[in-house]
Structure 1
């Protein structure tokens, strides 16, 4: 969530119908819930001229890789 996903979802929900909002919420749940991809998806962020701070502001989990 540190990457601004919650803000993107809020903006997208303003422009979408009811069915679209439900689909967006389901997609966000799949990406973030621990029982879905939230705990299974792992990534390494390497930096050169890019600000990755917001993406990792919720904590450094590099010890889990």
Structure 2
């Protein structure tokens, strides 16, 4: 995981969310409120799942 600020300000730790059946607790200030409601990305250094499961895009490709 690439991170720098560890406060959700820079977006370096942002990961793509492929699918989720839960609620994401967005604690960052990087994404707008609209982007947070879309639940397509999250700042992994500060944001968490409040419930359910999620599949994130790790960027790893075979």
TM over 0.5: no
TM-score (norm: length of structure 2) = 0.24
Specify the structure having the higher radius of gyration (Cα): 1
Higher share in strand = 2
